[in-house]
């Protein structure tokens, strides 16, 4: 699963570069070496002491100011690319280093050429992980490959013909997506200094996008269905991966072949929850709090909810964000009881143990679901195809806390194409 997710994300960037058109003139590439310094935040009590975090990132990008496709013009000529980075977290013995590959997109901010916002999502390889005997204080990651995310704001303080000198400030995060515990993750805040070296043969100021009149505003409806295969772990005593199966459907509108918003319904089945209930584990045994779950393990291991879905199209690719509300997810109560009570609870939990309380955190995380990821469409959305298929890689969370990592396959049907008034 991790390897498949990594391959999909890396191919996403490669194909984004390849989305060219015969109408392009002098496509503008740039190379941007970047040095970052900052703080590695403590991931757990007793976390190893750290010195200054240091990163070196090489960004390879392509500006789309001269791209005549609708998405590039609507987004005002963003930059897409691929970053390769090496990070020293300030303690080589306990935290080691990470090597990151990350597709990114960069937008203009505040309506200015000098301010830019960059966001990216990819994968990292870590040389040091948690180990109960040799590295017990570092509970940040327990897998060698994790998800990686960054969001930065840059200011171009000096611009020359061939180089844009930039300073930035931002946030970086690493997590394995609940594929193995412990999984506290790394959170870092850093400042950046970089030099965007522009292709001297790049696009001129009179770009194609600037010369082509604005496209007519369009909107059309769509219906979509998808299936997903996710994986996660349950608790330290059940720290092997199990599948999460998803089917979902949604209905909504696409605006200007660039933005999509819709509402939908999802059903999920958690294999870990089912196995815990059907296996008559500790908290569902006779006389315990959840003994009634054994009357229908499938029902209580299921999850049903509604979602609001937003997406930005980059022709073949979509940047996908969803926010959902769980109408039915009863087994999350067991999850919370086990994982929010004592540290390292055993498989057989004594009746006298203090378990996680149903506080405000539980109420929010049991109800609010989020999903973030990338899609690759078989037919570019620039063509507004009537029928299309996609494959996606996503990270699903309970109000920001990782739940599972997922690969999905979907079908989209579009209809009622029309001009917007």
Task: Name, in order, each residue with C-beta under 8 angstroms of 328's C-beta and a sequence gap of 6 or more.
Answer: 302, 303, 304, 305
Domains of the chain: 2-211 (2.40.160.20), 218-419 (2.40.160.20)
pLDDT for res 111:
83
> What whole-number distance in Å separates Cα of residue 405 and Cα of residue 395?
5
Torsion from C-alpha of 255, 259, 264, 269, nearest 10 degrees:
150
Among 85, 89, 77, smallest CA distance to 152 is for 85
The enclosing H or E element of 71 equals helix 70-74
The secondary structure of 291-357 as a DSSP string is GGGGG-HHHHTEEEEEEEEEEEEETTEEEEEEEEEEEE-TTHHHHHHHHTSSSS--SS--TTSPPPP
- Least confident range from 176-180, 208-212, 223-227, 253-257: namely 208-212
Where residue 24 falls among pLDDT bands split at 50, 70, 90?
low
Beta carbons of 323 and 369 less than 8 angstroms apart: yes
pLDDT for res 11:
53
Q: What is the mean pLDDT of residues 78-85?
A: 93
Q: Is pLDDT of 342 > 60?
A: yes
Q: What is the mean pLDDT of residues 126-146?
A: 91
Q: Is pLDDT of 41 > 70?
A: yes
pLDDT for res 352:
86
Where residue 211 falls among pLDDT bands split at 50, 70, 90?
very low
pLDDT for res 383:
86
Where residue 5 falls among pLDDT bands split at 50, 70, 90?
low
Q: Is pLDDT of 149 > 60?
A: yes
Q: Is pLDDT of 212 > 50?
A: no
pLDDT for res 90:
95
pLDDT for res 204:
47
Question: Which residue matches tokens 């990008």?
Answer: 61
The enclosing H or E element of 275 equals helix 271-278
Task: Name, in order, each residue with C-beta under 8 angstroms of 355's C-beta and a sequence gap of 6 or more.
Answer: 337, 338, 340, 341, 342, 349
Among 421, 372, 378, smallest CA distance to 401 is for 372
Chain segment 260-287, per-residue pLDDT in tens: 999 999 999 999 999 999 999 999 999 9
Q: Is pLDDT of 85 > 90?
A: yes
Q: What is the mean pLDDT of residues 355-360?
A: 91
Where residue 208 falls among pLDDT bands split at 50, 70, 90?
very low
pLDDT for res 210:
47
Residue 275 phi/psi, 5-degree rounding, is -65, -40
Q: Is pLDDT of 417 > 90?
A: no
Q: Is pLDDT of 95 > 90?
A: yes
The percentage of the chain sitting over the pLDDT mark of 90, rounded to a whole number, equals 63
**pLDDT, mean over the chain:** 88
Q: What angle do CA 317, 76, 255 make, to 5 degrees?
A: 55
């Amino acid at each position: 699963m991790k390897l498949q997710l990594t391959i999909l994300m890396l191919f996403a960037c490669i194909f984004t570069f390849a989305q060219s058109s015969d109408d392009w003139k002098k496509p503008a590439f740039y190379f941007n070496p970047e040095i970052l310094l900052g703080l590695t935040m403590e991931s757990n009590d007793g976390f190893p002491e750290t010195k200054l975090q240091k990163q070196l990132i090489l960004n390879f990008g392509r500006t789309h100011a001269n791209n005549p496709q609708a998405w590039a013009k609507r987004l005002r000529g963003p930059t897409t690319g691929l970053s390769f980075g090496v990070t020293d977290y300030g303690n080589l013995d306990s935290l080691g280093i990470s090597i990151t590959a990350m597709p990114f997109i960069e937008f203009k901010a505040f309506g200015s050429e000098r301010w830019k916002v960059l966001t990216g999502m990819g994968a990292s390889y870590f040389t040091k992980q948690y180990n109960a005997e040799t590295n017990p204080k570092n509970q940040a990651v327990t897998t060698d490959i994790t998800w990686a995310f960054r969001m930065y704001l840059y200011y171009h303080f000096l611009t020359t013909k061939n180089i844009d000198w930039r300073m930035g400030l931002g946030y970086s995060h690493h997590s394995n997506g609940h594929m193995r515990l412990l999984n506290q993750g790394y959170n870092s805040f850093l400042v950046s200094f970089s030099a965007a070296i522009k292709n001297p043969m790049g696009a001129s100021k009179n770009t194609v996008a600037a010369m082509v009149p604005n496209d007519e505003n369009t909107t059309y409806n769509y219906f979509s269905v998808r299936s997903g295969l996710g994986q996660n772990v349950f608790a330290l005593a059940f720290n092997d991966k199990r599948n999460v199966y998803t089917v979902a459907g949604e209905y909504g509108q696409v605006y200007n072949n660039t933005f999509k918003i819709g509402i939908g319904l999802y059903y999920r089945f958690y294999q870990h929850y089912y196995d815990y209930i059907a296996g008559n584990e500790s908290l569902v045994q006779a006389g315990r709090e959840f003994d009634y779950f054994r009357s229908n393990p499938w029902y209580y291991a299921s999850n049903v909810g509604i979602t609001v879905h937003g997406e930005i199209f980059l022709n073949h690719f979509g940047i996908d964000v969803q926010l959902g509300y769980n109408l039915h997810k009863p087994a999350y109560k067991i999850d919370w009881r086990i994982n929010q009570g004592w540290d390292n609870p055993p498989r057989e939990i004594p009746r006298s143990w203090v378990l996680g309380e149903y506080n405000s955190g539980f109420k929010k995380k049991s109800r609010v679901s989020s999903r973030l990821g990338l899609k690759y469409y078989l037919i570019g959305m620039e063509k507004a195809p009537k029928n299309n298929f996609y494959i996606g890689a996503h990270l699903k969370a309970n109000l920001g806390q990782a739940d599972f990592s997922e690969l999905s396959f979907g079908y989209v049907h579009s209809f009622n194409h029309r001009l917007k008034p």
